[in-house]
Amino acid sequence: MTDRRPPARPGYSLGRPVVPGTPFVDPEPPREAGEPPTGRSSLPAELRRARTRRRAEPSHEPAAPPARSTATAPLARDTAQRRAARRRALADPDGAVRAWFADHGWSPFGFQEEVWESYLAGESGLIHAATGTGKTYAAWMGPLIEWLRAAAPAVRTVARLAAPPLRILWVTPLRALAADTEAALAAPVRDLGLPWTVETRTGDTPAGVRSRQRSLLPTALITTPESLSLLLTRDTAAALFAQLECVVVDEWHELMASKRGVQTELALARLRHFRPALRTWGLSATLGNLDAARDTLLGVDPDGAPRPGQLVRGLVPKVIDVDSLVPPTIERFPWSGQIGLALLDQVVAAVDEGGTTLVFTNTRATAELWFQALRRSGAAWADRIGLHHGSIARADRDSVEAGLRGGTLRCVVCTSSLDLGVDFTPVDRVLQIGSPKAVGRLVQRAGRSGHRPGAVSRVTCVPASALELVDIAAARAALEAGAIEARPPVERPLDLLAQHTVSVALGGGFTSDELYHEVRTTHAYRDLPPDEWAWILDFVTRGGQALRAYPDYARVTEIDGVYRVTDSRIALRHRLSIGTIVSESSLTVRYVSGRTLGTIEEGFIARLRPGDRFVFGGRPLEFVRVRDMTAWVRRARGPANAVPRWSGARLTLSPELARAVRDKLDEARRGIYDAPEMREVRPVLELQAAWSRLPATDELLVERTRSRDGHHLFFYPVEGRLVHEGLAALFAYRIAQLAPISFSLAANDYGFELLSPDPAPIEAALEGGLLSADYLFNDIPASLNAAEMARRQFREVARVAGLLFQGYPGSGRSAKQLQASSGLIYDVFARYDPDNLLLRQAEREVLERQLERSRLGRTLVRLSAGRVTLVDVERPTPLAFALIVDRAREQVSSEKLADRVRRMVAPLERAAGPAVPRIATLRSAGWDGPR
């Protein structure tokens, strides 16, 4: 150990620091008594070791230097130093790994060693711990030790060892994390002198590397679910993965509750088909349903029983402090609506206090606003702040991350784009702008701070409206009660199964029985009935079912029982369409001088005229023109007046937090204001109580008022926006059954509004069972159709199932003849193939994921068991105000379209004066068909 250069000391932890006072609890013993038995964890150590030996023998062929050494990927320069390290490592694999930790000033945590042991015993599992606490090396060292142990007897000389072919796949949800992961994984490989290659393959990988990887994959490949699916479409897929030992899925909590998670499940099933002894390890943040997270990752065995696996608890932060900033005087505090940047001075003061600070926002537009404001604040560090969000060009994000790591940036304003990450430097202080909306998010963001020995994790919330003070107080209460959200896995999405089926048809082909049994080993499709599988096969081969095959259609062809794709254009389009992410049509933002700044939605650009100024990536820009799917800009001379909007998913209050909010409102009703935030918001809540009421936990408050806009009904179940959208559509539908009426609907986390030109028969509706949980089976789909919600959800389904083609990358080739909006396609299906299962899936997705049907049902049961209070109010109350200004609205009508339009137009025909223009105009927006 003489010539080893001083190890770089990363800012994140590799293992247990060899200094006292770590802020983390290292669970001793690492397994908690309360954790559910896996059937294995409780085995005596003797038995486990015996099984280790038994399992290790048949399943791990020695990874001795293969004969094909000339064809291997280029090996990093093999120096004398590396050879010396390799010699030591081969002589004593376990000792070398321990020594490597020691060289970096750490020693392995108990949970890390437990994972290595399980891995070496041939087991799979899930590791959960806070970000940056050594999960990566917990999963990584097992494979290294295994190779060293197996290779040692076969290695005659440590020189000129060829890199083994692909052994480890490391799946990461964000391309942005791949580079950090690669660096983290490569460090011990280099220091231990292993002949392994560690490479990345994502959408960002340069063409040269990709083409090299075509012939040979590295020993360890870091990739995304989409790039993994693409590898599976190669006809050589089986050979590519022939030596695969382990798949590690990083940030599994981010993937598991989405279709990307199911995409990963399907890919894992395929890989297990190639390699039955494959081990799978997931890395996750703490969740409310960790067992489900593990079972979803590992899938089921052919008998349908969950595959066994470990659940290993890593390090969790000991203490999290939640506090908040409030305006100095209540008079400056708008009683409702947006506070906006009114708290800027306090935010500046908070950044002044600490060292490096992360300012988290919930949306990219808010991040842009706060970045601008902080930059102009006149603070001493105003020129040392950065902006980080998902639409900013990679290079700019990299330089912000580097600035944070290197200490040149004092403060970074960011979105969830910085929620994840292996190599992430802890900061001194974390601010959260706006309600955290979920307890888990608050924990995760707070975990970015306080890694210093002896420090606590602390997060300071900055309310964006007065009522968000209630959210903050509720979040603290829920956190103290240990209420962390569960993330439900996605069940059986047929659009994705159709996509996967075409992928496998490309990747060497399949027979029906074989693939059916394979996909049934995933958690998502474990109950896939034979008729749905038959439907999928019909869909990809004939379009419709046997008797109603679509003319002139073929995507997958069946020859002698083997399904394959034979048309190369279909193959190309499929490869370009793999994935489940539906993005708004977006344009690249570029300076006319050439530099790329990021991406922006077409809908925003469509509203700009040349010369208009807007802020993007923290820079004031002047819009020049759109050409070649690029928005050309130049640096603006004057101040910008517009901030782009990105239509990313709006966060919704989690069930845990919603319950805590209802409790806080009930406390306020009883005059209990114990939390500091509750004391601040007290005047607003007392105003609400004076004008109307504060709802009790067993009470549904309904307010009725009239304005120039029409007749308003406000309902406050306080169940989160998604449930409220469903309830709004359901209630509007049920009321509209009593008489022809048209509603426009608005919903937020506290309640929803039904607005109509005429008074709604609310009393009759309440008597007639408006809140009843009966007939939901009929009423909910009917109300979804009335509000066109399924039609909108169909966009994602159509995209994943290959009905919407988003075009060829780059310019040159156009797919204009294949452009149609998902709404049009939905209408065609609804009319000409109404039994199409993709339509049912769109409905199911709205119900289960968007509206959280079970939560909707539970809410109705809760509401119908309680009491309803209908209050007539003179003007909108504090609770109503935010709803009344919300312009994003759904509509439900029981009038005939022609009658409805005649009524809309009628007042204008009477009033000759220059009334409000009745034809809304929007240049070039919303085009959804070819000209």
Partner 1 sequence: MGRPAVSVVPGDLSVTVAGEAVTLIPERAIYWPRVQALIVADLHWGKAATFRAAGVALPPGTTTDDLARLSGALRRTGARQLILLGDLFHARPGREADHTLGAIAAWHARHPALDILLVRGNHDRRAGDPPAELGIEVVDAPHRSGPFVLRHEPAEDPEAYALAGHLHPACIVTGAGRQHARLPCFLLGLRGAVLPAFGSFTGTSVVEPRATDRVFVVAGNAVIAVPA
Choice between 39 and 929, CB closer to partner 1: 929
Choice between 2 and 817, CB closer to partner 1: 817
Q: Which stretch binds partner 1 (CB under 8 A): 230-238, 646-654, 817-825, 871-879?
A: 817-825
Q: Are 461 and 324 in contact (CB under 8 A)?
A: yes
Q: Are 783 and 772 in contact (CB under 8 A)?
A: no
| Residue 841 sits in the site that holds partner 1 (CB under 8 A) | no
Q: Which stretch binds partner 1 (CB under 8 A): 242-250, 374-382, 665-673, 814-822?
A: 814-822
Instruction: Concatenate the DSSP letters of all residues of 674-732 into one string.
Output: -SHHHHHHHHHHHHHHHHS-PPPTTEEEEEEEEETTEEEEEEE--S-HHHHHHHHHHHH
Q: Are 119 and 222 in contact (CB under 8 A)?
A: no
Question: Smallest gap, in angstroms, from Cβ of residue 554 to partner 1?
Answer: 7
Candidates 803, 837, 856, 880; binder of partner 1 (CB under 8 A) is: 803
Torsions phi, psi for 322 (to 5 deg): -115, 120
Within 401-460, the residues that bind partner 1 by CB under 8 A are none
- Which runs of consecutive H residues, i.e. helices, occur in 281-331? 290-298
Candidates 624, 687, 696, 824; binder of partner 1 (CB under 8 A) is: 824
- Euclidean distance between CA atoms 320 and 255, whole angstroms: 25
Choice between 154 and 572, CB closer to partner 1: 572
Candidates 569, 637, 670, 813; binder of partner 1 (CB under 8 A) is: 569
Instruction: Identify the bridge partners of residue 777 per DSSP, sorted by sequence position.
Output: none
| Residue 913 sits in the site that holds partner 1 (CB under 8 A) | no
Question: Smallest gap, in angstroms, from Cβ of residue 44 to partner 1?
Answer: 56
Choice between 241 and 731, CB closer to partner 1: 731
| Residue 900 sits in the site that holds partner 1 (CB under 8 A) | yes
Question: Smallest gap, in angstroms, from Cβ of residue 631 to partner 1?
Answer: 20
Question: Smallest gap, in angstroms, from Cβ of residue 632 to partner 1?
Answer: 23
Question: Smallest gap, in angstroms, from Cβ of residue 822 to partner 1?
Answer: 11
Within 735-774, the residues that bind partner 1 by CB under 8 A are 742-744, 755-758
Closest alpha carbon to 582 in 788, 803, 367: 803
Within 710-729, the residues that bind partner 1 by CB under 8 A are 710-711
User: Amino acid identity of 775?
Assistant: Y
The radius of gyration computed from the CA coordinates of the chain, to the nearest angstrom, equals 29
| Residue 696 sits in the site that holds partner 1 (CB under 8 A) | no
Question: Smallest gap, in angstroms, from Cβ of residue 783 to partner 1?
Answer: 18
Closest alpha carbon to 335 in 880, 888, 712, 887: 880
| Residue 928 sits in the site that holds partner 1 (CB under 8 A) | yes
Q: Are 270 and 522 in contact (CB under 8 A)?
A: no
Candidates 2, 157, 593, 817; binder of partner 1 (CB under 8 A) is: 817
Candidates 833, 864, 869, 894; binder of partner 1 (CB under 8 A) is: 833
Choice between 43 and 828, CB closer to partner 1: 828
The residue to which tokens 């109350």 are assigned: 877
| Residue 7 sits in the site that holds partner 1 (CB under 8 A) | no
Instruction: Concatenate the DSSP letters of all residues of 826-843 into one string.
Output: HHHHHHH-TT-HHHHHHH
Candidates 3, 156, 897, 913; binder of partner 1 (CB under 8 A) is: 897
Candidates 3, 46, 303, 909; binder of partner 1 (CB under 8 A) is: 909
Question: Smallest gap, in angstroms, from Cβ of residue 40 to partner 1?
Answer: 45
| Residue 706 sits in the site that holds partner 1 (CB under 8 A) | no
Give the contact letters, 484-523, x = binds to partner 1 (CB under 8 A), - = no: ----------------------------------------
H helix or E strand, kind and range, residue 632: strand 630-635
Candidates 101, 106, 196, 829; binder of partner 1 (CB under 8 A) is: 829
- Euclidean distance between CA atoms 712 and 735, whole angstroms: 13
Q: Tell me the number of residues near partner 1 by CB under 8 A.
A: 73
- Euclidean distance between CA atoms 701 and 698, whole angstroms: 10
Q: Are 716 and 695 in contact (CB under 8 A)?
A: yes
Within 528-547, the residues that bind partner 1 by CB under 8 A are 539-540, 543-544
Choice between 33 and 898, CB closer to partner 1: 898
Choice between 71 and 828, CB closer to partner 1: 828
DSSP 8-class letter at 489: P
Q: Which stretch binds partner 1 (CB under 8 A): 82-90, 698-706, 851-859, 915-923?
A: 915-923
| Residue 37 sits in the site that holds partner 1 (CB under 8 A) | no
Q: Are 512 and 538 in contact (CB under 8 A)?
A: no
Choice between 449 and 541, CB closer to partner 1: 541
Candidates 553, 627, 639, 875; binder of partner 1 (CB under 8 A) is: 553
Cα torsion through 304, 305, 307, 308, rounded to 10: 180
Q: Which stretch binds partner 1 (CB under 8 A): 432-440, 479-487, 644-652, 826-834?
A: 826-834
Question: Smallest gap, in angstroms, from Cβ of residue 560 to partner 1?
Answer: 21
Q: Are 561 and 541 in contact (CB under 8 A)?
A: no
Token reading at 728 = 């709004």
| Residue 832 sits in the site that holds partner 1 (CB under 8 A) | yes
Residue 189: how many other CB atoms lie within 10 Å: 18
Question: Smallest gap, in angstroms, from Cβ of residue 558 to partner 1?
Answer: 15
Q: Are 630 and 409 in contact (CB under 8 A)?
A: no
Question: Smallest gap, in angstroms, from Cβ of residue 505 to partner 1?
Answer: 12
Q: Which stretch binds partner 1 (CB under 8 A): 114-122, 644-652, 653-661, 824-832?
A: 824-832
Instruction: Identify the bridge partners of residue 460 per DSSP, sorted by sequence position.
Output: 323, 431
Question: Smallest gap, in angstroms, from Cβ of residue 52 to partner 1?
Answer: 49
Total count of residues recorded for the chain: 931
| Residue 327 sits in the site that holds partner 1 (CB under 8 A) | no
In the Cβ-directed half-sphere of 647, how many Cα atoms lie within 13 Å?
Answer: 10
DSSP 8-class letter at 431: E
Torsions phi, psi for 318 (to 5 deg): -75, -50
Candidates 377, 785, 891, 894; binder of partner 1 (CB under 8 A) is: 891
Pairing of strands 316-317, 357-360: unpaired
Question: Smallest gap, in angstroms, from Cβ of residue 501 to partner 1?
Answer: 12
Candidates 43, 818, 861, 865; binder of partner 1 (CB under 8 A) is: 818
Choice between 7 and 823, CB closer to partner 1: 823
H helix or E strand, kind and range, residue 475: helix 468-480
Within 175-214, the residues that bind partner 1 by CB under 8 A are none
The residue to which tokens 């002949």 are assigned: 195
| Residue 802 sits in the site that holds partner 1 (CB under 8 A) | yes
Question: Smallest gap, in angstroms, from Cβ of residue 569 to partner 1?
Answer: 7
**Integer angstrom CA distances of residue 807 from 224, 577, 617, 625, 814:** 21, 9, 26, 22, 7
Contacts of 287 (CB under 8 A, 6+ apart): 128, 253, 293, 440, 484, 485, 486, 487
DSSP 8-class letter at 66: P
Choice between 1 and 919, CB closer to partner 1: 919
Question: Smallest gap, in angstroms, from Cβ of residue 917 to partner 1?
Answer: 8
| Residue 919 sits in the site that holds partner 1 (CB under 8 A) | yes
* 870 alpha-carbon distance from chain centroid: 39
Choice between 302 and 929, CB closer to partner 1: 929
Choice between 482 and 834, CB closer to partner 1: 834
Q: Which residues of 254-269 are buried (b: 16+ CB within 10 A; e: fewer)?
A: bbbbbbbbbbbbbbbb
- Which runs of consecutive H residues, i.e. helices, occur in 485-529? 494-506, 512-519
| Residue 552 sits in the site that holds partner 1 (CB under 8 A) | yes
